Amino acid sequence: MVAKGDMVYAWAADAAVQEKGECGGAITALQQYALKSGMVDAVLAVKKGQDLYDAVPTLITDPVDLAETAGSLHCGTLLLSKVVKKYLESTENTRVGVTVKGCDLMGLIELAKRDAVDMDRLLLIGVNCGGSVSPVSARKMIAEKFGVNPDDVVKEEIDKGQFIIVTKDGEHKGISIDELEEEGYGRRSNCRRCLYKVPRQADLAAGNWGVIGDKAGKATFVEVCSEKGAELLNKAAAAGALETSAAIPKGIEIRGKVENAMLKLGNKWRKNDFNALSSDLWGTIERETARCIKCYSCIENCPVCFPASEDLKGNSRMVTTGEIPPNPMFHLRRFAHISDSCVNCGQCEELCPMDIPLALFSHAIRSEGDAAFQPKLGRAPYKN
């Protein structure tokens, strides 16, 4: 039996799930058990669409279908928090299982603060995340840096400080993330700055960091973060869906070192990005946002920009309709609205058709505010 605070290695008991899933298929096995047992009514997962650069959110009610969502998609840059919100609003009392990365979970927490999401209806498995790569950038990077046709890549992963690809003929190639990012490739800029690598506010926090020895690549490291998470893990093991063993001290130590290395890298990029803005933040914002075509993508895809988003779309004393580009107050009001809640998910920047670095601006403003008020407020529940 495990309890909140325990750390274990876990892997699927079913050989087919082991083979299909990442790191022994523990997450797939847990989701399947949650569905079969009735702990959840549906699982919101992500599966590959046309190729591995196309991540598609999928609602699953048949445990067999979960096999289609096994594995990771670092080149699929979805944010699930608003998808979860919309689904919960469309149903009544439905319980949903969701596998979340850090920014998904931060978005859900902010939505819950606004009574827009009922966290009691969610069973959350968090995955440690080293970052994601924009699909367009990934294809360019693979072609130019790896010398490989992006359509020939069947798998990609970020592991041990490298971005690794596997081609359809079985060839493996890896290049250091540091090398890629110093040359302008690699992860999205918001992912580089992220300091929330292991989402421990989920019910379980899982991933490959810290799995060593004969379990390496064959098991998932799982931290039990809530009573609900402990219940799921214990029941799945008792039902024979999952096998576990205690995490070894050396593995726990290595997990901590990997996480700390990622945090140092995040702080390096924060210093690099924020220092570049420090001399003229507001002037830079005004110049960059002059390209805005007022498509509202930054508002529609932000997990926390509501209900004020409706005011920004309408006519008010500060924001006039029909202006292209809009008056700078349009963006200043949006930044003010999310200044205390930006989760650095990067969706505003990722989906901006004019390539305005909106995530950088939002994150810089949020971090500046945190630095000013943190001594009074105490420690934040997460570092974004």
Query: Looking at the structure, do residues 365 and 258 belong to the same domain, yes or no?
Result: no
Examine the domain organization and report whether 232 and 106 are in the same domain.
yes
Residues 67 and 194 in one domain: yes
Question: Do residues 60 and 66 make contact, with C-beta atoms less than 8 angstroms apart?
Answer: yes
CA-based Rg of the chain, rounded to a whole angstrom?
21
Does residue 122 sit in helix, strand or coil? strand
268 within domain boundaries: no
Decide if 2 is inside a domain: no
Share of the chain above pLDDT 90, in %: 63
Provide the pLDDT confidence category of residue 161 given band limits of 50, 70 and 90. confident
Any idea what the CATH number is for the domain that residue 73 is in? 3.40.640
Kindly state whether residue 13 falls inside one of the protein's structural domains. yes
Contact 214/12 with Cβ under 8 angstroms? no
Instruction: Report the Cα 327 to chain-centroid distance in Å.
Output: 32
Q: Are residues 107 and 125 in the same domain?
A: yes
Average pLDDT over residues 158-169: 87
Segment of 2-6, 15-19, 291-295, 333-337 carrying the highest mean pLDDT: 2-6
The C-alpha atoms of residue 123 and residue 96 are separated, in whole angstroms, by: 6
Residues 166 and 212 grouped into a single domain? no
Strand order from edge to edge, sheet including 55-60: 55-60, 42-48, 96-100, 122-127, 204-207, 220-224, 7-12, 242-246
Q: How far apart are CA 229 and CA 224, in angstroms?
A: 6
- Residue-wise pLDDT for 254-283, tens only, equals 999 999 999 999 999 999 999 888 888 888
DSSP 32-43: HHHHHHTS-SEE
58: which strand partners?
A: 45
Q: Are residues 195 and 236 in the same domain?
A: yes
pLDDT of residue 315: 53
Residue 323's domain comprises: 278-377
Integer Cα distance of 314 and 333 in angstroms? 13
What CA–CA distance (Å, rounded) separates 384 from 196?
6
Q: Where would I find the H helices in 99-248? A: 102-113, 135-144, 177-182, 189-193, 227-238
Are 344 and 358 spatial neighbours (Cβ–Cβ below 8 Å)?
Answer: no
| Residue pLDDT, tens place only, 306-322 | 655 555 555 555 566 77
Tell whether 95 and 204 lie within a shared domain.
Answer: yes
Question: How large is the average pLDDT for residues 89-113?
Answer: 94
**91: which 2 tokens?**
């149903």
Comparing 39-43, 226-230, 284-288, 378-382, which segment has the lowest mean pLDDT? Answer: 378-382
The CATH code of the domain that includes 155 is 3.10.450.750
Both tokens of 367, joined, read 């971090």
Q: How many CB atoms lie within 10 A of CB 349?
A: 22
Q: Is the pLDDT of residue 378 over 50?
A: no
Q: Is 280:245 a contact under the CB 8 Å cutoff?
A: no
254 with 338, same domain: the answer is no
pLDDT digits (tens, 9 = 90+) for 30-75: 999 999 999 999 999 988 888 888 889 999 999 989 888 877 788 8
Strand pairing report for 96-100 and 122-127: parallel
Last residue of a domain, one of 228, 262, 296: 262
Cβ neighbours of residue 295 closer than 8 Å, sequence gap 6 or more? 353
pLDDT at res. 381: 47
What integer is the mean pLDDT of 165-188?
Answer: 91
The tally of domains found in the chain comes to 3
Q: Is residue 272 part of a domain?
A: no
The three-point CA angle 202-68-212 to 5° equals: 55
Q: Do 288 and 364 belong to one domain?
A: yes
